Amino acid sequence: MTAEFTVRDAVFDFCRRMGMTTVFGNPGSTELRMLRDFPADFEYVLGLQELVAVGAAAGHALGTGGAALVNLHSAGGVGHALGGVFNAYRDRIPLVIVAGQQTRAMLPTRPFLGADEPAQFPRPYVKWSRQPERAEDVPAAFAEAYRVAMTPPRGPVFLSVPEDDWDRPAEPVPHREIRAGFAADPAALRETADALNDAANPVIVVGSGVEDENVSHLVVSLAERTGAPVWISPLSGRSGFPEDHALFKGFLPPVRNRLVAELEGHDVVLVLGAPVFNYHVHTEGPFIPEGTKLFLFDCDPTLTAWAPVGTGVLTTLQAGLSGLLELVDKADRPAPEPRPRLARPQRADPIDAALVVEALRERMPADAVLVEEIPSHRDMFHARFPITKPGTFLTMGSGVLGWSLPMGVGRALAGSGERIVCVLGDGAIMYSVQALWTAARHRLPMTVIVMNNGGYGAVRALGRRIGMDGVVGADIAGIDYAAVAGGLGVPGRTVTSAADLEGALDEALAHEGPFIVDVAVAADEEAMYWSATER
């Protein structure tokens, strides 16, 4: 080692070896020394707000399959980003978040822009967080952070670095590797396989963990071998099973009594990579039908411990499913009744939101990736737009708005030119509309469709459920979304008549860079999942 080799050199050298050469951030004074002599083979992606930086990093991580590097500004920047950190944690997206801190000598004086107890600030929504005791410990801590982020269950980690640490001398990070896959106890696999073999009517429930581990093909094999129908878990952030498959049943509702009703008649339930007890509305009653056996396979010990009923089997899904496929017998069970194809809505004004979805589905490029954030229309959307290939659908699994637009930006940056189509609510886009500037700056192949129903439709629906005639603060009016986008460098169109819809979508999907279509849709007064007793 020479005096010229610094903490900064060691960290960037490690990032280079791990393939983390894209940095997402919004820099401030405490990050400048990290960015000094920024390596020519790295790229800094600027987000105009920290939520945008974290969301774009998440989309990039999902596109590449590796961890993404995020650079935030001290306590204020971390505070702005926490909604995104929460999303990344719940959706198991590996992010290495590095925040600046004032110099070590200044910390006893509680300086301007200093972070008090920085390692505690993002908890509990990071897997790991530190501020190293010494500057020379920063590279090793950074490497540990990366390994924790990438170890199942994957997720965000946090490192606070005093700004003067970057110029201190340091040693390179030694090469290390982790083999992170682990298998269930053989007796647990045998118990689960015996239950499936003996079952009269088993069912499988999949969550975002299936796509996180790239094992959709194994789920298909297991479903076909057992003849078990497949549900997607409530409010999943990804798909996990081809929705045009004969065994696909649909989407479980996030309401306890309705979920139990859907599982009625199944004597064995196998849950794969999902918090199946993910409710949005409280109801009383059992968690599963009486007499039903439930097995939960997941790599997260917290999730398997938290599940209120059933048998938790701690395993990565690759190992668990491979083991089950060796033990489960071929069964001859009839496929469930085909899901009905919904009729195409009439072309009329005001525009039916379902017409927008159908028109988009008909025009969707074969290799496009769909990113959704329309809580008001989510049930309708998924009933009309089946996801058939892994990795082609992303959404917010945690419910924190503003996630999907920057996630689409990051996914586009990680792509090879495929079109990213973001379908957003008029409320959702305003949480992170600054992401359009980043899309324009990089000329990303993105189509953004705003389903403009004049407010927070999901909040209105929840209000109706509890007997409220109106909800304070749920109306949005007076925003020209095409004009806002234009000011950020993204061209667009406003559509108020159904006669103009198809032409606008064609233009948006063919545009070389990003393009926005603001579609005025009728307010949805239909019952949503929380207000119906049956699907």
CATH number at residue 365: 3.40.50.970
Question: Is 233 found in the same domain as 152?
Answer: no
Higher pLDDT residue, 341 or 459? 341
Contact 363, 418 (CB under 8 A): no
Residue 22 C-alpha from the chain's centroid? 19
Domain contains 468 = yes
Contact 517, 447 (CB under 8 A): yes
Q: What is the CA radius of gyration of the chain?
A: 24
Question: Is 138 found in the same domain as 36?
Answer: yes
pLDDT of 532: 37
pLDDT of 307: 86
Domain contains 424 = yes
Question: How many other CB atoms are there within 10 angstroms of residue 90's CB atom?
Answer: 20
The whole-angstrom separation of Cα 156 and Cα 153 is: 10
Reading the block at residue 511, the tokens are: 């545009």
Indicate if 358 belongs to the active site: no
Domain contains 36 = yes
Question: Is 266 found in the same domain as 407?
Answer: no
Domain contains 178 = no
Question: Is 481 found in the same domain as 383?
Answer: yes
Q: Which residues pair with 382 in a beta bridge?
A: none
Catalytic residue among 76, 181, 250, 399: 399
Domain contains 263 = yes
Helix, strand, coil: what percent of the chain each, to 5?
40, 20, 45
Contact 58, 95 (CB under 8 A): yes
Q: What is the CATH number of the domain that holds 223?
A: 3.40.50.1220
| Backbone angles phi and psi of 230, in degrees to 5 | -125, 130
Whether 535 shows a pLDDT value over 50: the answer reads no
Indicate if 4 belongs to the active site: no
pLDDT of 460: 77
pLDDT band at 250 (very low <50, low <70, confident <90, very high): very high
pLDDT of 473: 77
pLDDT digits (tens, 9 = 90+) for 60-74: 999 999 999 999 999
- The set of residues, in sequence order, having a beta carbon less than 8 Å from that of 108 and lying 6+ positions away, is none
Look at residues 361, 381, 363 and name the one whose alpha carbon lies nearest to residue 503: 363
Catalytic residue among 19, 29, 171, 497: 29
Catalytic residue among 136, 181, 245, 280: 280
Under DSSP, the state recorded for 6 is B
Whether 340 shows a pLDDT value over 70: the answer reads yes
Strand order in the sheet with 369-373: 393-395, 369-373, 420-425, 446-452, 515-520, 492-495
Q: Which residues pair with 98 in a beta bridge?
A: 71, 159
Higher pLDDT residue, 137 or 399? 137
Question: Is 510 found in the same domain as 376?
Answer: yes
pLDDT digits (tens, 9 = 90+) for 405-448: 999 999 999 999 999 999 999 999 999 999 999 999 999 999 99
Question: Is 201 found in the same domain as 133?
Answer: no
pLDDT of 529: 52
Overall domain count for the chain: 3
Whether 151 shows a pLDDT value over 70: the answer reads yes
Residue 138 C-alpha from the chain's centroid? 29
Reading the block at residue 338, the tokens are: 């085909």
pLDDT of 533: 34
Indicate if 31 belongs to the active site: yes
Average pLDDT over residues 454-466: 76
Range of the domain at 218: 186-327
pLDDT digits (tens, 9 = 90+) for 174-208: 999 889 899 999 999 999 999 999 999 999 999 99
Question: How many other CB atoms are there within 10 angstroms of residue 107's CB atom?
Answer: 16
Average pLDDT over residues 142-162: 97
Contact 195, 293 (CB under 8 A): yes
Among 327, 342, 368, identify where a domain stops.
327
Tell me the whole-structure pTM to 2 decimals. 0.94
Q: Which residue has the tokens 């737009």?
A: 385
pLDDT of 528: 58
Whether 457 shows a pLDDT value over 60: the answer reads yes
pLDDT of 278: 81
Catalytic residue among 73, 266, 377, 382: 73
Question: Is 191 found in the same domain as 158?
Answer: no
Reading the block at residue 10, the tokens are: 């060691």
Average pLDDT over residues 304-333: 95
pLDDT band at 76 (very low <50, low <70, confident <90, very high): very high
Reply yes or no: is the peptide bond before residue 118 cis, omega within 30 of 0.
no
Instruction: Please give the mean pLDDT across all residues of the chain.
Output: 93
* HEC readout, 120-148: CCCCCCCCCEECCCCHHHHHHHHHHHHHH
pLDDT digits (tens, 9 = 90+) for 35-54: 999 999 999 999 999 999 99
Residue 18 C-alpha from the chain's centroid? 22
Domain contains 217 = yes
Question: Is 255 found in the same domain as 397?
Answer: no
pLDDT of 380: 92
Catalytic residue among 25, 50, 100, 207: 50
The whole-angstrom separation of Cα 100 and Cα 110 is: 15
Q: Give percent of the chain above pLDDT 70.
A: 97
Look at residues 180, 120, 130 and name the one whose alpha carbon lies nearest to residue 150: 180
Q: Give percent of the chain above pLDDT 90.
A: 80
The whole-angstrom separation of Cα 486 and Cα 489 is: 5
Question: Is 437 found in the same domain as 383?
Answer: yes
Within 264-336, residue ranges assigned H as helices are 301-306, 317-327
Under DSSP, the state recorded for 469 is S
Catalytic residue among 31, 144, 213, 372: 31
Indicate if 427 belongs to the active site: no
Helix (H) or strand (E) holding 494: strand 492-495
Indicate if 50 belongs to the active site: yes
Higher pLDDT residue, 22 or 3? 22
The whole-angstrom separation of Cα 171 and Cα 182 is: 32
Contact 498, 354 (CB under 8 A): no
Contact 426, 450 (CB under 8 A): yes
pLDDT digits (tens, 9 = 90+) for 209-232: 999 999 999 999 999 999 999 999
Domain contains 379 = yes
pLDDT of 107: 83
Question: Is 65 found in the same domain as 17?
Answer: yes
Catalytic residue among 28, 391, 454, 463: 28
Average pLDDT over residues 324-353: 92
Question: Is 232 found in the same domain as 129?
Answer: no
pLDDT digits (tens, 9 = 90+) for 80-135: 999 999 999 999 999 999 999 888 878 888 877 778 899 999 999 999 999 999 99
Question: Is 190 found in the same domain as 158?
Answer: no
Average pLDDT over residues 364-372: 97
Reading the block at residue 416, the tokens are: 């090879």
The whole-angstrom separation of Cα 243 and Cα 357 is: 16
Amino acid at position 104, single letter? R
The whole-angstrom separation of Cα 249 and Cα 243 is: 8
Reading the block at residue 135, the tokens are: 């500057």
Indicate if 80 belongs to the active site: no
pLDDT band at 525 (very low <50, low <70, confident <90, very high): low
pLDDT band at 339 (very low <50, low <70, confident <90, very high): confident
pLDDT of 114: 79
pLDDT digits (tens, 9 = 90+) for 257-275: 999 999 999 999 999 999 8
Indicate if 19 belongs to the active site: no
